[in-house]
Amino acid sequence: MRKNYLLTPGPTPIPPQVAEVMSRPIIHHRTPQFQAILKEAVVGLKYVFQTSEDVFILTSSGTGAMEAAVINLLSPGDTTLVVQGGKFGERWTELCKAYGINTEVIDVEWGKAVSPQEIEKRLKANPKIKAVLITLCETSTGVTVDVEAIGKIVKVTDAVLVVDAISGLGAIDLKTDAWNVDVCVSGSQKGLMLPPGLAFISVSKKAWDKVAESKCPKYYFSFKAAKKAADSTDTPFTPAITLVIALNEALKMMRQDGLENIFLRHKKMADATRAAMKGLGLELFAPTAASDVVTSVKVPQGIDGEKLVKTMRDTYGVTIAGGQAELKGKVFRFAHMGFIEEFDIIAGISCLEKVLAQMGYKFSLGAGVKAAEEVFNV
Amino acid sequence: MRKNYLLTPGPTPIPPQVAEVMSRPIIHHRTPQFQAILKEAVVGLKYVFQTSEDVFILTSSGTGAMEAAVINLLSPGDTTLVVQGGKFGERWTELCKAYGINTEVIDVEWGKAVSPQEIEKRLKANPKIKAVLITLCETSTGVTVDVEAIGKIVKVTDAVLVVDAISGLGAIDLKTDAWNVDVCVSGSQKGLMLPPGLAFISVSKKAWDKVAESKCPKYYFSFKAAKKAADSTDTPFTPAITLVIALNEALKMMRQDGLENIFLRHKKMADATRAAMKGLGLELFAPTAASDVVTSVKVPQGIDGEKLVKTMRDTYGVTIAGGQAELKGKVFRFAHMGFIEEFDIIAGISCLEKVLAQMGYKFSLGAGVKAAEEVFNV
């Protein structure tokens, strides 16, 4: 007998009522039956995005929607400002490069958040910058940025603010309209509690002006095609029907809970996880800008970080994530995002303690769980 | 109480054992557990594609994979030869246009198949043609083309043969390697008995030479990125995990049945459906090149074609497809593809008879079902 616990920053666990609808007989997408679901899902997405602007559903992973943002807003030869402080920030640069778009890069040390003032300085120095591309939660490092402050700065320029909120949306606060986010990109397998396969993207009026000027080639990811189809409650191409039906169920749950409560739950889980790591004598990788969706922790000296993750997963059924790219083996990432609650965190920390103890790390057994409980029980 | 029957050319019904795996707890994609599934699924896909070349899994609808074919093989200013005889042939032209690729178009009358000799003539007249873009089953008209004959012609030229086999693969014969298909594109929601959301694409050695020269911008749909990831049993971006697991189940079923038996089943269902239409005094839209996956039928005079489809679906739970684009209201399309068998066809024809009778069409009640049974019971 083995029970599995998924504590990774995407995919995140699927609620049973969402999983259930995916096993129902499929329906055709060009029917009033599906259109009613699509319509309701878009209303739900606007609630989660905190926007009254257009939100489109794309059948792709989140990267597809990042590409959609770049190719619909920009033209070859344009200049963007990219904040890079991890694997996903780098993806913005790679995407721009693939389309002949110049990038000014703010290279933030991994584990640190960008200073909004640095963005302001760069925008003033180069008024040609057409878009600022940032990452809400840099999953590779566990860092979150101050989108609200950045939004105020970008708002008064000609540039649009594009936020990769694949990780974070629906788990931590992101007020698309109020914070002046022009294009917000998200994916299904994180805060939205679905399998991967769908991406979502919002487009502000300021962004639509850029779309009108954009000369990058596009077809499958065209905003104009998405808009035209959405106007008659349709998608331009066959959508991932099952995932859209699941999306609608997940959004119903989220509307019932209320965003405020969801954000509080994530905050509490993050605080408890951080307290637990401290209780175990472990050091956070991003102490000053830690996100509430995933906690990055430095692997202590003498411990094999890859083996730690592998043993937790393959021997005990608890899947957390290891480090990516330059952080491989140096950190582990303990996620608390989506359909996760207090006792999942306790279980995950307990398993971490078990394997750390087996690997010879010195600490007082139970210290992590105790510290977490102290946060959960105030 | 209402039972639903889905007889549309995509999505097609999901087998219960495939539906079931989609409701299981999700697993992470960068784990040995998922890699084992991905590896097995690719082996299964190669069996269905009848190829020993590379086959990649993309998270997108079929159109995304069509775009992938165009942007990975070609460069702006290149010339392609497109066979257009319906909505999906036109999509090849639109895609090329979006990327600044010139198209020579063979405009085939809707309901007719292209003559391979016409393709030969065009290729001889213009040796600059770099790719021939065709459609295995033009779902909008119900027509299938002679891929084998076209493959022989394209093989001896510098051009590559690209086949949109979204509709048809895994239901009718398409020998990717033996018939010299360089790039074969397919989707999940047709012969492969899955929900939409995945696309598949094969790439021959001749095609890889074109990939090396291609200058179209690309990122999410890059073959090189797909190949690099596939070499370590991975995907370049988060795949639609649930659908890949479902794919593996569907492919197990297909390998167990065997392609020959699957093709025979489709042929029989198509013959029975065509016989039924004749029995009802209805005229086929594509009598000379009818595909074995969907039968297009002319709506008889005095009958409202859209109302016919709507009544079957909304009053009796049997979903067939109406006409698209210029065929709207003029044809209906009765599909027999994927997880469909004899008695589904009988049920569908019986419902068609019921609604035709109600709408005042004159025929001998039971004549369609009788004609179908005569085919099924030889």
Provide CB contacts within 8 A for A214, sequence distance 6+. A71, A72, A73, A74, A75
Of A13, A95, A237, the CB nearest to B26: A13
Q: What's residue B1's pLDDT? A: 80
Centre a 10 Å sphere on the Cβ of residue B174 and count the other Cβ atoms it contains: 28
Centre a 10 Å sphere on the Cβ of residue B76 and count the other Cβ atoms it contains: 14
Query: Which chain A residues are within 8 Å of B238, Cβ to Cβ?
Result: 10-11, 61-63, 187, 189, 196
Query: Which chain B residues are within 8 Å of A67, Cβ to Cβ?
Result: 219-220
Q: How far is B320 from chain A (nearest CA, A)?
A: 9
Residue type, A35: Q
Query: Which chain A residues are within 8 Å of B59, Cβ to Cβ?
Result: 59-61, 64, 196-197
What length is written for chain B? 378
Q: Which CATH class is domain B5-10+258-376?
A: alpha beta
Residue A370's alpha-carbon distances to A18, A333, A336, A366, in angstroms, are 33, 20, 18, 6
- Substitution target in A21, A61, A103 with the highest count of B β-carbons within 10 Å is A61
Question: Which has the closest alpha carbon to B240: B198, B185, B202, B186?
Answer: B198
Pairwise CB contact (< 8 Å): B240 & A6: no
* Residue B125 burial (10 A CB sphere; 0-12, 13-18, 19+): exposed
- Residue A280: both structure tokens together: 């175990």
- Residue A263: both structure tokens together: 């954000």
Per-residue pLDDT tens, chain B, 378 aa: give them. Answer: 889 999 999 999 999 999 999 999 999 999 999 999 999 999 999 999 999 999 999 999 999 999 999 999 999 999 999 999 999 999 999 999 999 999 999 999 999 999 999 999 999 999 999 999 999 999 999 999 999 999 999 999 999 999 999 999 999 999 999 999 999 999 999 999 999 999 999 999 999 999 999 999 999 999 999 999 999 999 999 999 999 999 999 999 999 999 999 999 999 999 999 999 999 999 999 999 999 999 999 999 999 999 999 999 999 999 999 999 899 999 999 999 999 999 999 999 999 999 999 999 999 999 999 999 999 999
Query: Which chain B residues are within 8 Å of A219, Cβ to Cβ?
Result: 63, 67, 94-95, 98-99
Angle at A302 between CA A296 and CA A308, to 5 degrees: 50
Q: How far is B178 from chain A (nearest CA, A)?
A: 30
User: What distance in Å separates the CA atoms of residue A83 and residue A69, rounded to the nearest whole number?
Assistant: 16
Instruction: For residue B343, give the H/E element and its range.
Output: helix B342-358
Q: What is the mean pLDDT of residues A104-127?
A: 98
Selected residues 243-282 of chain B with any CB under 8 Å from a CB in chain A:
243
ipTM above 0.85, yes or no: yes
Of A22, A76, A237, the CB nearest to B22: A22
Q: What's residue A242's pLDDT? A: 98
Question: φ and ψ at A198, to 5 degrees?
Answer: -120, 150
Pairwise CB contact (< 8 Å): B196 & A14: no
Q: What's residue A1's pLDDT? A: 80
Pairwise CB contact (< 8 Å): B237 & A13: no
The structure tokens 């959609």 sit at A68
Q: What DSSP letter does each residue of B263-277 carry, written as one string? A: HHHHHHHHHHHHHHH
A240 interfaces chain B, CB cutoff of 8 Å: yes
Instruction: For residue A137, give the H/E element and its range.
Output: strand A137-138
Instruction: Round the CA-based radius of gyration of chain B to a whole number and report it.
Output: 21
How, if at all, do strands B79-84 and B102-107 pair? parallel
- Residue A219: both structure tokens together: 């077809």
CB pairs under 8 A between A and B: 179
Strand ranges (E), chain B = 5-6, 54-59, 79-84, 102-107, 129-135, 137-138, 143-144, 160-164, 183-187, 198-203, 294-298, 318-319, 321-322, 331-335
Instruction: Round the CA-based radius of gyration of chain A to a whole number and report it.
Output: 21
How, if at all, do strands A321-322 and B143-144 pair? unpaired
Pairwise CB contact (< 8 Å): A60 & B31: no
Searching chain B, which residue's CA lies closest to the CA of residue A17?
B23
Q: What is the mean pLDDT of residues A359-364?
A: 98
Q: How far is A58 from chain B (nearest CA, A)?
A: 8
Check: CB of residue B63 under 8 Å from CB of residue B91.
yes
Pairwise CB contact (< 8 Å): A197 & B243: yes
Q: Is the pLDDT of residue A150 over 90?
A: yes
Query: Which chain B residues are within 8 Å of A319, Cβ to Cβ?
Result: 27-28, 31
Provide CB contacts within 8 A for A326, sequence distance 6+. A110
User: What distance in Å separates the CA atoms of residue A309 and residue B86, rounded to the nearest whole number?
Assistant: 53
Q: How far is B198 from chain A (nearest CA, A)?
A: 8
Query: Which chain A residues are within 8 Å of B220, Cβ to Cβ?
Result: 60-61, 63-64, 67, 221
Express each pLDDT in A26-42 by its tens digit: 999 999 999 999 999 99
Angle at B235 between CA A93 and CA A95, to 5 degrees: 15
User: What distance in Å separates the CA atoms of residue B111 and residue B166, rounded to the nearest whole number?
Assistant: 18
Question: Which has the closest alpha carbon to A58: A69, A50, A47?
Answer: A69
Selected residues 142-181 of chain B with any CB under 8 Å from a CB in chain A:
none
Strand ranges (E), B69-177 = 79-84, 102-107, 129-135, 137-138, 143-144, 160-164
Pairwise CB contact (< 8 Å): B11 & A28: yes
User: What distance in Å separates the CA atoms of residue A9 and residue A266, rounded to the nearest whole number?
Assistant: 13
Centre a 10 Å sphere on the Cβ of residue B293 and count the other Cβ atoms it contains: 29
Query: Which chain A residues are within 8 Å of B100, Cβ to Cβ?
Result: 217
Question: φ and ψ at B234, to 5 degrees?
Answer: -145, 175
Domain ranges of chain B: 5-10+258-376, 16-257
Q: What's residue A66's pLDDT? A: 98
Query: Which chain B residues are within 8 Å of A216, Cβ to Cβ?
Result: 217
Angle between helical axes of B342-358 and B259-279 (0-180°, round to 10): 20
Question: Which has the closest alpha carbon to B68: B237, B284, B296?
Answer: B237
Of B61, B76, B239, the CB nearest to A238: B61
Residue type, B299: V
Strand-pair partners of B201:
B56, B185
A242 interfaces chain B, CB cutoff of 8 Å: yes
Q: Is the pLDDT of residue A270 over 90?
A: yes
Selected residues 82-141 of chain B with any CB under 8 Å from a CB in chain A:
94-95, 98-100
Pairwise CB contact (< 8 Å): B219 & A98: yes
The backbone region for B306, taken as left when phi is positive above 0, alpha when psi lies in -120 to 50, beta otherwise, is alpha
Q: How far is A156 from chain B (nearest CA, A)?
A: 31
Please state whether the predicted TM-score (pTM) of the whole model is above 0.95.
yes
Strand-pair partners of B129:
B79
Task: Rounding to the nearest 10 degrees, give the CA dihedral for residues A149, A151, A152, A157.
Answer: 140
Searching chain A, which residue's CA lies closest to the CA of residue B245?
A195
Pairwise CB contact (< 8 Å): B238 & A61: yes
Q: How many helices (H) and strands (E) does chain B have?
A: 13, 14
Q: What's residue A360's pLDDT? A: 98
Strand-pair partners of B199:
B58, B187
Centre a 10 Å sphere on the Cβ of residue A146 and count the other Cβ atoms it contains: 15
Q: What's residue A2's pLDDT? A: 83
Provide CB contacts within 8 A for B258, sequence distance 6+. none
Record: fold of B16-257: Aspartate Aminotransferase; domain 2 (3.40.640)
- Substitution target in B71, B90, B192, B238 with the highest count of A β-carbons within 10 Å is B238
Q: How far is A9 from chain B (nearest CA, A)?
A: 10
- Residue B21: both structure tokens together: 């795996």
- Residue B229: both structure tokens together: 């990831």
User: What distance in Å separates the CA atoms of residue A290 and residue A137, rounded to the nearest whole number?
Assistant: 9
What length is written for chain A? 378
A195 interfaces chain B, CB cutoff of 8 Å: yes
Q: How far is A63 from chain B (nearest CA, A)?
A: 7
Selected residues 335-374 of chain B with any CB under 8 Å from a CB in chain A:
none
Tell me whether domains B5-10+258-376 and B16-257 share a fold.
no
- Cis-peptide into A287, omega within 30 deg: no
Question: Which has the closest alpha carbon to B151: B260, B62, B51, B258?
Answer: B51
User: What distance in Å separates the CA atoms of residue A176 and residue A182, rounded to the nearest whole number?
Assistant: 7
Angle at A332 between CA A327 and CA A335, to 5 degrees: 125
Q: Work out the widest C-alpha separation in chain B, in whole angstroms.
A: 62
Pairwise CB contact (< 8 Å): B26 & A20: no
